[in-house]
């Protein structure tokens, strides 16, 4: 595996999100965000969402891994790995602590100046998500998050403030992280983190999700337009969780069910890329009698605010099967309609590990969208063991990443797909989004912090750190360099 040549300038790097690393949740004027009212859960249960911050509860994002104070040390380690890019988000509630102020918080803006300057010191290009599961909590309590059309205005005001401030420091932007996670509208976590609301008793969760997501795609399209009025060189992308949904069998009903699942998961990027709703979905709204607030002005704005590239996360694949009683309308309910794929193994958290699915994903999006693609997340959550010598022999992580990079390189060199870069999840250990655990580790850099918040916060390079350093140094040509004591494979 030495012959594949990737383009010069390929954006190798790593990714995190503000709320999962920064901590300092109430420092320098930061307001509470949705991430600040979620407790920690165990491996197989959901995080609790509390009414504000409650005494006696533990909120792991409040301190996270203290990147807010330790970023110079961490960015230096990223540079040592050879990062060309670093994906993070701007915590919305640092800039607009309540969300509905008219003027931004200077101390919050100043923090990201320092962070982006630190990146540029090492030639690292920031890739910045505007909204990564961290809406100001006041927008939740006062407006119901994206239930309200007003939140479009709050979001675009935030976007304008940061586009203006970082006009010459950030070139690559993403609007909403994994905007399509809320396809699984039965999960409290997805609606709360994507859209800032919870479903009320008696409400049709699917209908409310579609309304909120409509406001988000409009907000995204407006942000694209604002971005280009501020700096025509900005590259603004959409971001979806690319979890492909395969048919469980070759039964045509299963195949159609899988197609409907893919339509349901990817109408978000269809709208963000094409600038219009797919026809199946407008028919679906009518059939379901979903009377949504979608105005002619919205539709015009969607057309004017299409994205220039598509970022996506890739962790796993799904499979689905038609129900015997499925009506003609074929709907997809992600909390009920998935089945286990017997051909792929699962991680300790039950995620179906499928490297070839990444090549499929890249080809699928290339065929559908005809835009440059950016792998902005890919990785495996695993229990790591820190040795007495402060080493972590994470061969399972190296194996996961190597197999996925191989498939990405095949898509690029054999299939002709244009990929801008690869920023695996995660650059450094983070607080897991879905479980709040520190022990579901993703990083190249180990952080001494435990699920209960104990630990020194010291940083240690894992074996995968040295392995990835060599991958970047060879521009992806050498993926088999082994490191350290190695081969304590857990996978």
User: Annotated catalytic sites, by residue?
Assistant: 377
State the nearest-atom distance from the C-beta of 434 to ligand P53, in Å. Answer: 3
178 in contact with ligand P53 (CB under 6 A):
yes
Using N-to-C axis directions, what is the helix angle for 67-81 and 463-473, rounded to 10°? 50
Q: Which is closer to ligand P53, CB of 173 or CB of 330?
A: 173
Q: Which of residues 20-49 bind ligand P53 (CB under 6 A)?
A: 20
377 in contact with ligand P53 (CB under 6 A):
yes
Q: Which is closer to ligand P53, CB of 145 or CB of 311?
A: 311
236 in contact with ligand P53 (CB under 6 A):
no
CA distances from 419 to 219, 312, 370, 456 (A): 26, 11, 11, 38
Q: How far is it, in rounded angstroms, from Cα 467 to Cα 395?
A: 10
Q: Which of 93, 177, 180, 407 binds ligand P53 (CB under 6 A)?
A: 177
Burial class (CB in 10 A: 0-12, 13-18, 19+), 350: exposed
Q: How far is it, in rounded angstroms, from Cα 354 to Cα 356?
A: 6
Strands (E), 274-317: 309-313
State the nearest-atom distance from the C-beta of 377 to ligand P53, in Å. Answer: 6
Q: Which is closer to ligand P53, CB of 181 or CB of 366?
A: 181
Tokens 């930061």 belong to 30
Stretch in the footprint of ligand P53 (CB under 6 A) among 91-99, 174-182, 325-333, 476-484: 174-182
Q: Which residues make Cβ contacts (< 8 Å) with residue 309, sequence separation at least 6? A: 235, 237, 371, 372, 373, 374, 420
Q: Which is closer to ligand P53, CB of 441 or CB of 462?
A: 441
User: Total residues at the site for ligand P53 (CB under 6 A)?
Assistant: 15
315 in contact with ligand P53 (CB under 6 A):
yes
State the nearest-atom distance from the C-beta of 376 to ligand P53, in Å. Answer: 9
Stretch in the footprint of ligand P53 (CB under 6 A) among 222-230, 260-268, 427-435, 460-468: 427-435
State the nearest-atom distance from the C-beta of 17 to ligand P53, in Å. Answer: 5
- The site string for ligand P53 over 1-20 (x = CB under 6 A, - otherwise) reads ----------------x--x
Q: How far is it, in rounded angstroms, from Cα 254 to Cα 259?
A: 9
Q: Which residues make Cβ contacts (< 8 Å) with residue 296, sequence separation at least 6? A: none
Q: Which is closer to ligand P53, CB of 43 or CB of 331?
A: 43
What is the 8-class DSSP label of residue 27? S
| Cβ density class 130-159: b for 16+ within 10 Å, e for less | bbbbbbbbbbbeebbbbbbbbbbebbbbbb
Give 445's strand partners: 461
Q: Which of residues 201-220 bind ligand P53 (CB under 6 A)?
A: none
State the nearest-atom distance from the C-beta of 307 to ligand P53, in Å. Answer: 17
Helix, strand and coil content of the chain, in percent to the nearest 5, comes to: 40, 15, 45
State the nearest-atom distance from the C-beta of 389 to ligand P53, in Å. Answer: 28
**Contact criterion met (CB below 8 Å) for 89 and 134:** yes
Q: How far is it, in rounded angstroms, from Cα 473 to Cα 329?
A: 51
Q: How far is it, in rounded angstroms, from Cα 161 to Cα 19?
A: 19
434 in contact with ligand P53 (CB under 6 A):
yes
- The site string for ligand P53 over 381-420 (x = CB under 6 A, - otherwise) reads x---------------------------------------
Q: Which is closer to ligand P53, CB of 238 or CB of 433?
A: 433
Q: Which of 432, 447, 451, 476 binds ligand P53 (CB under 6 A)?
A: 432
Q: How far is it, in rounded angstroms, from Cα 223 to Cα 228?
A: 9
265 in contact with ligand P53 (CB under 6 A):
no
State the nearest-atom distance from the C-beta of 209 to ligand P53, in Å. Answer: 15
**Contact criterion met (CB below 8 Å) for 351 and 316:** yes
174 in contact with ligand P53 (CB under 6 A):
no
Q: Which is closer to ligand P53, CB of 151 or CB of 183?
A: 183
380 in contact with ligand P53 (CB under 6 A):
no
Task: Show the CA angle centred on residue 238, arms to residues 234 and 243, nearest 5°.
Answer: 150
State the nearest-atom distance from the C-beta of 287 to ligand P53, in Å. Answer: 28
440 in contact with ligand P53 (CB under 6 A):
yes
- By CB under 6 A, name the binding residues for ligand P53: 17, 20, 177-178, 181, 241, 313, 315, 377, 381, 425, 432-434, 440
């Amino acid at each position: 595996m030495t012959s594949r040549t990737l383009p010069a300038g390929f954006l190798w790097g790593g990714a995190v999100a503000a709320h999962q690393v920064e901590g300092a949740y109430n420092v320098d004027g930061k307001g509470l965000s949705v991430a600040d009212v979620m407790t920690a859960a165990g491996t197989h249960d959901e995080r609790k969402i509390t009414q504000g911050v409650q005494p006696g509860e533990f909120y792991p994002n409040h301190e996270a891994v203290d990147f807010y104070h330790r970023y110079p040390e961490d960015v230096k380690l990223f540079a040592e790995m050879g990062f060309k890019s670093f994906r993070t988000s701007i915590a919305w509630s640092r800039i607009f602590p309540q969300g509905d102020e008219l003027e931004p918080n200077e101390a919050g803006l100043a923090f990201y100046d320092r962070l982006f300057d630190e990146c540029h010191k090492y030639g690292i290009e920031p890739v910045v998500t505007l909204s990564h599961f961290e809406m100001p909590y006041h927008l939740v309590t006062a407006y119901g998050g994206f239930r309200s059309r007003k939140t479009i205005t709050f979001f675009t005001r935030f976007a304008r403030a940061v586009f203006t401030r970082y006009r010459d420091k950030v070139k690559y932007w993403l609007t909403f992280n994994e905007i399509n996670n809320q396809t699984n509208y039965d999960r409290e976590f997805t609606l709360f983190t994507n859209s800032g609301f919870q479903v009320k008793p008696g409400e049709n969760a699917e209908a409310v999700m579609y309304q909120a997501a409509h406001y988000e795609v409009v907000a995204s399209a407006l942000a694209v337009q604002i971005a280009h009025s501020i700096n025509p060189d900005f590259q603004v992308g959409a971001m979806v969780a690319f979890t492909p949904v395969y048919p469980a069998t070759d039964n045509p009903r299963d195949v159609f069910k899988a197609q409907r699942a893919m339509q349901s998961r990817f109408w978000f990027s269809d709208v963000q890329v094409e600038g219009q709703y797919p026809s199946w979905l407008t028919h679906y709204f009518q059939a379901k009698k979903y009377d949504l607030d979608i105005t002619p002005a919205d539709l015009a704005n969607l057309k004017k605010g299409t994205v220039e590239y598509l970022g996506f996360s890739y962790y796993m694949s799904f499979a689905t099967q038609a129900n015997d009683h499925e009506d003609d309308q074929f709907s997809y309910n992600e909390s009920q309609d998935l089945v286990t794929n017997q051909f792929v193994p699962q991680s300790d958290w039950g995620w179906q590990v499928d490297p070839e699915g990444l090549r499929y994903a890249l080809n699928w999006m290339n065929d559908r969208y005809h835009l440059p693609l950016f792998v902005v997340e890919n990785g495996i959550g695993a229990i790591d063991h820190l040795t007495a010598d402060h080493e972590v022999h994470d061969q399972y992580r190296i194996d996961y990443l190597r197999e996925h990079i191989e498939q990405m390189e095949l898509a690029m060199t054999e299939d002709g797909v244009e990929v801008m870069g690869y920023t695996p999840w995660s650059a450094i250990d983070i607080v897991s989004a879905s479980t709040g655990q520190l022990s579901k580790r993703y990083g190249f850099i180990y952080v001494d912090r435990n699920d209960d918040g104990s630990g020194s916060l010291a940083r240690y390079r894992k074996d995968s750190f040295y392995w990835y350093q060599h991958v970047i140094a060879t521009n992806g040509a050498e993926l088999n360099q082994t490191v350290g004591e190695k081969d304590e494979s857990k996978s």
